[in-house]
Chains A and B, each alone.
Chain A
């Protein structure tokens, strides 16, 4: 049964590869899966609204304290009510979503870059290089990451968004490096790599031009799933008070108002929309990621 399947697929896949790249295979998979397509459209809409409106919004007006309308419930003037400083929740929600997504994306790209470089080097060269790098990664694995990030955030001298991204990336690259390393290890044994080596192609060229494109689908899937995770970790840390500084509110900032039991119990409009927005964004990104994962594995594709 299995042999039959691969036999059928082989010519088909080869033909597709000539016509379509990784991206178009992924796109076809998403279109085939109605839920994933829905998730993509919903996420696209959220992002367009969030980034579009935040351009038009007057950020100073939103963060200005207005004591006349403290904790006012949703009304025509403030669609989602106000917080303890009389600030508009909807405006904060949009700015928060923008910050959360942008920072999640930055962390994902930075950890992707580090993980990719380290993983490719360890996997391609193997031997002693691989050994040293793996020992370092093993060490990172035993670290109580969440606690250490909190400690680092506390001791950072001039704490700002840039530091936060660096601190998060410092601890979150190891998983990617391990994944890329194991895939590169397998890739390096294949004939095309030895053929290139025999022809005298320099190592860096083999890594970048030949091995990397073959890993692209795995990388895209991994980055997508990580993006969702990073938005979750960022807002979680901000919720605890060790995430983004107050000058850049995130969705976690709004949720963190719920540490006050009175807000949690009686003023749902402050924390619930932000919580649901985090949930919806993470669900959408995850769902897209799962569809991409199927696209990356020829046996699981829907079409």
Chain B
């Protein structure tokens, strides 16, 4: 087991290295930079100061020097300065990161809360009307793009019915740290989290349902029935235990899709997280923030798939042999 994990981590290192080179080259290829953009708007900026600033920031150094400096900073947890915000990128991201993590966790929890019962019902009572509704629900949510669903939810529950706030992550009038503050945060979280969760239940429901249907006819289940185990115990003790475990392995892959989803969710609900920060930064050409965010997302994706592989191999020993 330890050997398997170590090997997986070893594979990660060259992947991260190539990713960092790719991102660095992309950053260099971005048209214009945040400083030149200020030339027109900032009266204190003229061509001479611009030139000096660029020299000070090392923008004229050869590429490999700049890359080495960037990587060195990265390893020290220094992601550079945001030129637009005039703050270190690290603190800029840290401020938004928790909002995104909170939203992601809420999406995950809600999606499992919806998917697991539905998958179990569909698998246990196959071909009943409830199962048919679940299959229909699955078709619908599988085909619906996240951004359209989120927009419709915002329109219906945010504007037409007015049940939930329509933007932001917390009411600015409430004092930080009070009970009302946390309630307001929760209130702002429900709608985006629910939109994200409903669209991402498909895989779990389908997997669980198929898994239970397959397990139902296996010999050990027949043996249990023949021994006289009650029907509900056959399900809770024998079938669910077998079918539910692999679900845990989806966790890592879910992290991967959450990153892409957060960009849409945060932009639609005006939720201040890293997805929104990414979009505004790229529009303002603040590319030190952009590169940092892409790098962090790549790392999170890597860790997510690693996590899934480890859980999967812990649950199913056959995978380790490969």
What are 11 sample pairs from A and B whose C-beta atoms fall under 8 A apart? A138-B15, A142-B19, A147-B263, A147-B293, A151-B26, A151-B30, A235-B148, A268-B155, A282-B144, A283-B143, A286-B139
Given contacts A150-B282, A151-B282, contact A240 B263 (CB under 8 A): yes
Q: Judge whether B139 and A283 touch: CB under 8 Å.
A: yes
Q: Judge whether B15 and A139 touch: CB under 8 Å.
A: yes
Q: Judge whether B282 and A154 touch: CB under 8 Å.
A: yes
Q: Chain B 194-209, CB within 8 Å of chain A: the 1/0 string?
A: 0000000000000000
Q: Chain A 76-119, CB within 8 Å of chain B: the 1/0 string?
A: 00000000000000000000000000000000000000000000
Q: Identify the stretch in A25-33, A175-183, A187-195, A271-279 within 8 Å (CB) of chain B at 4 or more residues.
A: A271-279
Residues of chain B within 8 A (CB-CB) of A152 are 26
Q: Judge whether A240 and B260 touch: CB under 8 Å.
A: no
Q: Does B259 contact A (CB under 8 A)?
A: yes
Q: Identify the stretch in B36-44, B225-233, B294-302 within 8 Å (CB) of chain A at 4 or more residues.
A: B294-302
Give the contacts of B232-273 with A (CB-CB under 8 A).
Answer: 259-260, 263-264, 267-268
Q: Judge whether A286 and B142 touch: CB under 8 Å.
A: yes
Q: Judge whether A264 and B139 touch: CB under 8 Å.
A: no
CB contacts between A and B, total, < 8 Å: 112
Q: Judge whether A142 and B154 touch: CB under 8 Å.
A: no
Q: Does B166 contact A (CB under 8 A)?
A: yes
Q: Judge whether A142 and B301 touch: CB under 8 Å.
A: yes
Give the contacts of B166-190 with A (CB-CB under 8 A).
Answer: 166-167
A277 to chain B, nearest CB (A): 10
A148 to B263, CA, bound (A): 12
B151 to chain A, nearest CB (A): 6
B259 contact from A144, A151, A232, A236, Cβ within 8 A: A144
A155 to B285, CA, bound (A): 10
Residues of chain A within 8 A (CB-CB) of B146 are 236
How many residues on B have C-beta within 8 angstroms of the other chain's C-beta atoms? 43
A39 to chain B, nearest CB (A): 10
Q: Judge whether A144 and B297 touch: CB under 8 Å.
A: yes
A243 to B278, CA, bound (A): 16
B100 to chain A, nearest CB (A): 13
Q: Judge whether B302 and A142 touch: CB under 8 Å.
A: yes
Q: Judge whether A278 and B145 touch: CB under 8 Å.
A: yes
Residues of chain B within 8 A (CB-CB) of A239 are 147, 264
Q: Does B60 contact A (CB under 8 A)?
A: no
Q: Mark A residues whose CB is within 8 Å of B.
A: 138-139, 141-148, 150-152, 154-155, 157, 228, 232-233, 235-236, 239-241, 255, 258-259, 261, 264-265, 268, 271-272, 275, 278-279, 282-283, 285-287, 290
A218 to chain B, nearest CB (A): 18
A143 to B263, CA, bound (A): 15
Chain A minimum-CB-distance residue to B295? A144
Mostly helix, strand, loop or mixed at chain B's interface?
Answer: helix
B257 to chain A, nearest CB (A): 10
Chain A minimum-CB-distance residue to B301? A142
A226 to B191, CA, bound (A): 29
Q: Judge whether A147 and B29 touch: CB under 8 Å.
A: no
A278 to chain B, nearest CB (A): 6
Q: Judge whether B30 and A154 touch: CB under 8 Å.
A: yes
Mostly helix, strand, loop or mixed at chain A's interface?
Answer: helix
| Cβ-closest 6 pairs across A and B | A144-B297, A232-B145, A146-B260, A286-B143, A265-B159, A283-B143
B96 to chain A, nearest CB (A): 15
Residues of chain A within 8 A (CB-CB) of B154 are 264
Q: Judge whether B139 and A279 touch: CB under 8 Å.
A: no
Residues of chain B within 8 A (CB-CB) of A233 are 145
A286 to B300, CA, bound (A): 30
Given contacts A143-B298, A261-B166, contact A275 B152 (CB under 8 A): yes
Q: Judge whether B15 and A146 touch: CB under 8 Å.
A: no
Q: Chain B 12-23, CB within 8 Å of chain A: the 1/0 string?
A: 000100110000
Given contacts A240-B279, A255-B148, contact A283 B293 (CB under 8 A): no
A285 to B148, CA, bound (A): 17
* Interface-centre pick from A143, A146, A147 (highest chain B CB count, 10 A): A147
Residues of chain A within 8 A (CB-CB) of B283 are 241
A152 to B140, CA, bound (A): 31
Give the contacts of B269-294 with A (CB-CB under 8 A).
Answer: 278-279, 282-283, 290, 293-294
Give the contacts of B26-78 with A (CB-CB under 8 A).
Answer: 26, 29-31
B216 to chain A, nearest CB (A): 13
Q: Judge whether A141 and B305 touch: CB under 8 Å.
A: yes
